[in-house]
Amino acid sequence: MLGYVLAVDALALAVVGTSFIGLDVRTDDWIRFGALALGSAIHVEAGREIERLRQVVSEGSTYVNLKSMWMFAGVLILPPPLAVGVIAVSYAHAWIRLPRSPPHRGYFSASTVILGSAVATMCIRTINPDNQPGFAGGLVGLIAVAAAAMAYWLINLALVVGVVLLANPNANARKALGQLSDQFIVAGALGLGTSTAALLLYQPWLTAALLITVLGLHRALLVGQFQFAARTDPNTGLANAMFWHEIAAKELERSQNTNAPLGILYLDLDHFKAVNDTYGHLAGDQVLKAIAAELKHEVRTEDLVGRLGGEEFAILLPNTDIEDTLRTAERIRRRIAGLAVSVNTPAGTTFVDGFTCSIGAATYPNAGQSLDILLMAADTATYAAKESGRNRVVTAPSRTPGQLS
C-alpha cells in the first residue's frame, strides 16, 4: 500500500512539474481561477456540518461530494498550473475546515484528482486541440467534454478504490466502490462543472446564480442522504427498528380508517450463533446481508422489511389478510431454507447453507387492533414456532372482540 501511495503521489508531482512547460497565463485566467477557488471555499463552508458526518460515515469506502464541480471546471477552462491550483486550494481549505485526516491522505486524494485531471486534459487536447484551455460548442465540444469527464471520473475512482482495498484487505470491492447514489453525485458534479465553465467563459456574472442554486441543492441532497441513513440498518440496508415501527403505526392507522387487513411477520433465524462461532462475525454479517436481499425479493414493493436487531427481522404487509400473510411467510421460510451464501473466512471462501427460520404471523384485526398488541402477538407466535421445533410458521390466535384492543 505504501508503495502504491508513493507512486501515485510521485506521478502527480511529475504532472504538476510538466504543467509549467509553455506556460501562458492571462489576466482572465487569474480572474477565473479566483472565482473557482472562491466558489469552492463557499461550497465547503455551506455544507461543513453535514460533510463532517459524511466523512466519518464513508470511512472504508470512497468519499464523494459536489466539490468536484469547481475542480473539473478548472480543468476545462484554465491553464494546467492554475487548474492544479484550484485542486490544491480546494483540498487545503477542506482539510482545515473539515475533520483533519492525516495530511498524507489529503495529499493522496488530491494526487488522484490531479492525475484524473491530466488525463481529462489529454482527452480534450486530442479531440478538440484548438480550444484548450476552454472548449468549443457543437457536437465536437460535447464529445470532448464527455470524454474528459469520463476520464476524470474513472482515473480518480480506480486509484481511490485501489488504495481502499490495499488498506483494508478484508474489504470487498463493492463496499470500496460505495453506493450507486454516490456515483450519481459525481456525475452531477461533473455536469455542474461543465455549466460553471461555460458561464465563466461567456456569462461570468451568472455564475453567482449557479452558486446559489448549487448550495441549495447540495444541502437538500445531503440532508436527504442522512434522513435515509437515519432510518436504514447500515449492515443490511433494511429499515431499522425505529423507522419500521413508525411506518407500521401509520399503516395500521390507515387500515383502521379503511377497514383493510394488515399482516405482520416476525422472523428469527434458527441457531444463527453457530454461523458466527464457526465462520466468524464478518461471515455472519455477509449471511445477514444475503438473507436481507432474499426477504426484499420475496415481498411486494409496498411491503416493508426491517431488521429489529441481531438475527431478528420484521415484515409489514399492508392490505394483506390472514391467508395471504401465511402464504408469504411460507414462501419466505422455504426461500431461506434453500439459500446458500458465499462467505469469506480466514481459511478462504466457502459456502454456508442449511439455514432455517421461525416465523410468527399476526394480522389486523384478527390478532388485535393496536400496534402493541399485534407486535406482541407476532413475537409470541415466533417463540411458539421455536418451542415447537423451529423452521416453521405459527399464526397468532384470533382474539375475541373484547380482547382485540
CB-hemisphere CA count at 13 Å for 230?
Answer: 8
CB 302 within 8 A of CB 248: no
356: which DSSP letter?
-
Query: Does the annotation count 294 as an active-site position?
Result: no
Q: What is the DSSP string of 201-214?
A: HH-GGGHHHHHHHH
Query: In angstroms, how far apart are the furthest CA atoms of the chain?
Result: 89
Contacts from 47-54 at CB under 8 Å and sequence distance 24+?
47/215, 47/218, 47/219, 47/222, 48/97, 48/98, 50/219, 50/222, 50/223, 50/226, 51/94, 51/98, 51/222, 52/98, 52/99, 53/226, 54/222, 54/225
The reply to whether omega before 365 is within 30° of 0 (cis) is: yes
Q: Which one is catalytic: 311, 312, 330, 387?
A: 311
Backbone angles phi, psi at 69, to 5 degrees: -60, -40
Judged by DSSP in three states, 397 sits in coil
Active site residues: 311
